[in-house]
């Protein structure tokens, strides 16, 4: 794969840096990376990988931008939040304005057992920029199954962690984090906050590690880097393969094989917003059409991806990917009452 004149100029500081050089730059150009999650970590990783000249970048996130995101999610601005733009679409636009020499795909889709394998097909490497353990366990299983490397990254409060996971060579995610936590039992940024530079730093370190991996010099294999910015400490912890690991040894894919067949309701953001996730076979388009024709709901805004409605004191956001947010709400029960009016569940 050749570099054209513009690329040689654009990446000249990479090329004169011995550890990359012209051959390294060509390798980056023919590489393909998926970034799963486009929040604070994904924003930073995506920007650096785009600017470094990774030839193909796949962006995956089903969410839309909200005002409380832009404190740390540096791909987005106030207008994106006002318009509740889909993160994958807003990110693609922003990244394309930074580099027209690469190709960027955007998938505003939910990453679940039905979509996971398809979404990660044909990429060399995955950046884990998700925000919960359940998705990471699923990602791990897909990567072990497809023998695909991924770079784990997480950030909360003032600490973060990362590790490079190469199926068949290093411990897998399940070897390191053996116990599956109860849903809702771990702290989340919604509940305990996050210092905005922590996800940025983790994303940059993942991008660094990704570039090094593609060039054959990654460092965080069988190591977990644990960072506490409160004390500016960086600790490397050796991690070992679990000889009884259900995923990478026994190849039992519990998360990948689970069926999603029920609706999930969760209270977010200090208890004033309810999030409703529908199973992946739910017909959101049909629901949208029914609501648009229902005089009980006043339409505030609509785009191909998002419908914003007013119903009394509630604001309801319906994304075309099976996610509903109800704002100004106090309990799960209240959410069920409203859903009953919308879809009769």
Binding site for Zn ion (CB under 5 A): 172, 174-175, 245, 247-248
Q: For residue 296, how far is the Cα from the chain centroid?
A: 35
Cα 339 from Cα 324, distance rounded (Å): 10
Q: Which value, in Å, is the radius of gyration of the alpha carbons in the chain?
A: 21
- Pairing between β-strand 32-36 and β-strand 56-60 as defined by DSSP bridges: parallel
- Least Å distance, CB 167 to Zn ion, is 8
- Least Å distance, CB 193 to Zn ion, is 32
Q: What sign does the dihedral 104-109-112-113 (CA atoms) show?
A: negative
Helix axes 87-98, 40-52, angle to 10 degrees: 30
Residue whose CB is less far from Zn ion, 61 or 141: 141
Name, in order, each residue with C-beta under 8 angstroms of 246's C-beta and a sequence gap of 6 or more: 174, 252, 254
Residue whose CB is less far from Zn ion, 228 or 241: 241
- Least Å distance, CB 171 to Zn ion, is 6
Contact status, residue 165 vs residue 213, Cβ threshold 8 Å: no
CA atoms within 13 A on the CB side of 238: 1
Contact status, residue 86 vs residue 321, Cβ threshold 8 Å: no
- Least Å distance, CB 251 to Zn ion, is 10
- Least Å distance, CB 148 to Zn ion, is 14
Q: Which of 281, 307, 282 is nearest to 294 (CA)?
A: 307
Cα 37 from Cα 303, distance rounded (Å): 22
Q: CA triplet 108, 110, 115: central angle to 5 degrees? A: 110
- Least Å distance, CB 241 to Zn ion, is 6
Residue whose CB is less far from Zn ion, 107 or 150: 150
Q: For residue 273, how far is the Cα from the chain centroid?
A: 21
Residue whose CB is less far from Zn ion, 24 or 167: 167
Residue whose CB is less far from Zn ion, 232 or 243: 243
Residue whose CB is less far from Zn ion, 13 or 250: 250
Residue whose CB is less far from Zn ion, 212 or 241: 241
- Least Å distance, CB 181 to Zn ion, is 17
């Amino acid at each position: 794969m050749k570099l054209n004149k513009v690329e040689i100029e654009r990446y000249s500081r990479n090329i004169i840096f011995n550890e990359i050089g012209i051959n390294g730059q060509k390798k980056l150009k023919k590489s393909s990376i998926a970034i799963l999650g486009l929040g604070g970590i994904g924003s930073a990783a995506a920007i650096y990988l785009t600017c470094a000249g990774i030839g193909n970048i796949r962006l995956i996130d089903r969410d839309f931008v909200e005002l409380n995101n832009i404190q740390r999610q540096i791909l987005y601005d106030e207008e994106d939040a006002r318009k509740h733009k889909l993160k994958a679409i807003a990110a693609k636009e922003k990244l394309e304005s930074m580099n027209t020499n690469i190709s960027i795909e955007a998938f505003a889709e939910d990453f679940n057992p039905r979509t996971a394998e398809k979404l990660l097909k044909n990429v060399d490497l995955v950046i884990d920029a998700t925000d919960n353990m359940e998705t990471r366990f699923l990602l791990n299983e897909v990567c072990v199954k497809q023998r695909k490397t991924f770079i784990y990254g997480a950030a909360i409060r003032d600490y973060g962690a990362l590790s490079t996971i190469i199926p068949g060579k290093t411990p897998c995610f399940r070897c390191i984090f053996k116990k599956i936590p109860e849903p809702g039992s771990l702290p989340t940024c919604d509940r305990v906050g996050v210092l905005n530079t922590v996800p940025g730093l983790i994303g940059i370190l993942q991008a660094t590690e990704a570039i090094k991996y593609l060039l054959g010099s990654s460092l965080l294999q069988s190591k977990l880097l644990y960072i506490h910015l409160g004390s500016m400490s960086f600790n490397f912890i050796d991690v070992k393969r679990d000889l009884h690991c259900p995923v990478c040894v026994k190849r039992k894919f519990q998360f990948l094989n689970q069926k999603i067949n029920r609706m999930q309701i969760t209270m977010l953001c200090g208890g004033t917003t309810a999030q409703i996730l529908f199973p992946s076979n739910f017909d959101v388009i049909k629901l949208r059409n029914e609501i648009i024709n229902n005089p009980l709901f006043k339409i505030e805004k609509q785009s191909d991806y998002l419908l914003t409605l007013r119903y009394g004191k509630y604001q309801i956001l319906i994304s075309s990917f099976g996610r509903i947010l109800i704002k100004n709400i106090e309990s799960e029960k209240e959410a069920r009452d409203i859903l009953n009016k919308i879809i009769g569940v």
